[in-house]
């Protein structure tokens, strides 16, 4: 088994197609980093904005205090004066926090500052007008997490958006969504999070299918291909199939690890390492939520993504044995994945929709429960994803083994 795995590794190492795709992945990662880096809002910019805001607030405060001493200030202006009065020390604290890298100080001040929003905690939970109660609560909680752990945030922080925000004031939505989309972090850990958000998707599955398709189906089961070499050596027949599976999985893990290292290195080299315990929002049922560290989120996502790949590889193995032709097997598998995806979308409202494995191929939305919120069905959970993909893969692999034995007994 070990030597078969080594053979698979050697095949991959020597394959030009494999190298070209890996190069493509590396170039893609570097290119994406350049994009993220050039779009990351820097601390200096935030600091400068805060200083401008402080100056403006202070000058307006002086003006309002003058008017107050003259007795020409009405009641609403007096409220504004109070807000300005309170906000100056908070702005100063934020500036000091950023200036000295004291993120606890910054987060605390920012959290206090957010509370000025008079609508805070007054909305019913079910109301979907931006900012929703959930959005405000989660933002406060997010800042608390940063405060407790002294974590530098990814800028800009003046907008916060969750999946519950659906109704916006006229003209506000593109601005808010635009600002949220601008939230890029070029530090190592956050860039990895960003990058894997694109890789741990259906597109990533298709990419890995292409990457390994040649190697998986190379032997051309049943033809006069290299399978005949393996069959005339003292090797257990099932070991061939199993070693391929293990090799491809190990190689996938290896590639993901290399991409993670590359992304982290790029971020660390050109920015900073970042924080593996940066908070990632996990939606809960009944408007609850929790935070998990970015590192754990990536780990869970990688796990689910690997199961998605196992599911896809199982289909490829099955058709590889069924059709005896590499290119046909790849074609059918990709078609089936696309059709499966489309079918899953169509049957999203059915009672047992959460059992369909095709739903779990866009990993981030599953791990964060974002998909569950959008579908208003928390059966689409990480746990059900693991179960659905595992059972489906196991069933397909079992079918493949049965088919393989049947084909072997009736060969020629």
228 binds another protein (CB under 8 A): yes
225 binds another protein (CB under 8 A): yes
Nearest to 5 by CA among 291, 244, 180, 203: 244
- The 8-class DSSP code of residue 144 comes to H
Candidates 39, 66, 100, 236; binder of another protein (CB under 8 A) is 236
Tell me whether residue 224 or residue 286 sits nearer to another protein (CB atom).
Answer: 224
Pairwise CA distance, residues 265 & 274, whole Å: 11
411 binds another protein (CB under 8 A): yes
Tell me whether residue 18 or residue 200 sits nearer to another protein (CB atom).
Answer: 18
383 binds another protein (CB under 8 A): no
Write the burial class of residue 180 (CB in 10 Å: 0-12 exposed, 13-18 middle, 19+ buried).
middle
Q: How far is the CB of 178 from another protein (least distance, A)?
A: 48
Q: Which segment (134-142, 222-230, 278-286, 299-307) binds another protein by CB under 8 A? A: 222-230
Candidates 55, 229, 395, 402; binder of another protein (CB under 8 A) is 229
Q: How far is the CB of 33 from another protein (least distance, A)?
A: 31
226 binds another protein (CB under 8 A): yes
Q: How far is the CB of 399 from another protein (least distance, A)?
A: 22
122 binds another protein (CB under 8 A): no
Q: How far is the CB of 215 from another protein (least distance, A)?
A: 9
Pairwise CA distance, residues 102 & 94, whole Å: 9
Radius of gyration of the chain (CA): 27
> In sequence order, what are the beta bridge partners of 291?
281
Q: Is 268 helix (H, G, I), strand (E, B) or coil?
A: helix
Tell me whether residue 149 or residue 407 sits nearer to another protein (CB atom).
Answer: 407
Q: Is 136 helix (H, G, I), strand (E, B) or coil?
A: helix
3 binds another protein (CB under 8 A): yes
Between CA 53 and CA 57, with CA 56 as vertex, the angle to 5 degrees is: 85
Tell me whether residue 226 or residue 284 sits nearer to another protein (CB atom).
Answer: 226
Tell me whether residue 42 or residue 237 sits nearer to another protein (CB atom).
Answer: 237
Residues within window 273-332 making contact with another protein, judged by CB under 8 A: none
20 binds another protein (CB under 8 A): no
* DSSP string for residues in 228-260: HHHHTSS--HHHHHHHHHHHHHHHHHHHHHHHH
Tell me whether residue 11 or residue 272 sits nearer to another protein (CB atom).
Answer: 11
Q: Which segment (14-22, 145-153, 306-314, 376-384) binds another protein by CB under 8 A? A: 14-22
Which residue pairs, CB below 8 angstroms and at least 24 apart, start in 279-282?
A: 279/142, 279/145, 279/146, 279/151, 280/193, 280/368, 281/138, 281/142, 281/162, 281/368, 282/367, 282/368, 282/369
Contact 166, 134 (CB under 8 A): no
242 binds another protein (CB under 8 A): no
Q: How far is the CB of 22 from another protein (least distance, A)?
A: 14
- Give residues in contact with another protein (CB under 8 A): 3, 6-7, 10-11, 14-16, 218, 223-226, 228-229, 231-237, 409-412
């Amino acid at each position: 088994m070990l030597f078969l795995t080594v053979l698979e590794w050697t095949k991959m190492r020597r394959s030009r197609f494999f190298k070209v795709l890996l190069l493509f992945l590396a170039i893609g990662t570097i290119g994406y980093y350049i994009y993220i880096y050039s779009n990351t809002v820097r601390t200096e910019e935030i600091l400068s904005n805060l200083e401008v805001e402080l100056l403006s607030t202070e000058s307006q405060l002086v003006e309002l205090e003058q008017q107050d001493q003259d007795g020409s200030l009405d009641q609403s202006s007096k409220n504004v004066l109070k807000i300005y009065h309170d906000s100056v020390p908070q702005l100063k604290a934020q500036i000091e926090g950023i200036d000295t890298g004291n993120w606890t100080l910054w987060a605390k001040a920012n959290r206090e500052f957010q509370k000025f929003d008079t609508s805070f905690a007054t909305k019913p939970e079910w109301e979907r007008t931006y900012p929703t109660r959930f959005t405000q609560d989660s933002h406060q909680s997010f800042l608390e997490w940063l405060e407790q752990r002294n974590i530098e945030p990814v800028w800009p922080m003046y907008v916060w958006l969750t999946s519950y925000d659906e109704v916006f004031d006229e003209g506000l939505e593109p601005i808010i969504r635009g600002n949220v989309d601008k939230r890029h972090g070029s530090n190592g850990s956050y860039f990895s999070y960003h990058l894997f958000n694109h890789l741990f998707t259906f597109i990533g599955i298709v990419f890995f299918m292409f990457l390994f398709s040649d190697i998986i189906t190379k032997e051309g089961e049943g033809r006069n291909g290299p399978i005949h070499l393996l069959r005339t050596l003292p090797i257990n027949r099932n070991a061939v199939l199993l070693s391929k599976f293990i090799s491809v999985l190990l190689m996938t893990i290896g590639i993901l690890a290399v991409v993670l290292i590359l992304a982290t290195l790029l971020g660390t080299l050109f920015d900073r390492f970042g924080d593996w315990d940066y908070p990632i929002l996990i939606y809960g049922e009944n408007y609850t939520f929790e935070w998990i560290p970015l590192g754990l989120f990536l780990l869970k996502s990688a796990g689910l993504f690997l199961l998605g790949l196992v599911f896809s590889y199982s289909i490829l193995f099955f058709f590889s044995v069924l059709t005896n032709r590499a290119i046909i097997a790849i074609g059918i598998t990709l078609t089936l994945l696309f059709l499966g995806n489309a079918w899953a979308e169509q049957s999203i409202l059915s009672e047992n929709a959460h059992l369909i494995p095709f739903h779990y191929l866009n990993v981030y939305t599953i791990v964060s429960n974002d998909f569950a919120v959008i579908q208003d069905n928390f059966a689409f959970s990480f746990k059900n994803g693991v179960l659905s993909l595992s059972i489906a893969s196991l069933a397909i692999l079992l079918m493949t083994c049965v088919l393989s034995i049947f084909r072997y007994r009736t060969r020629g």
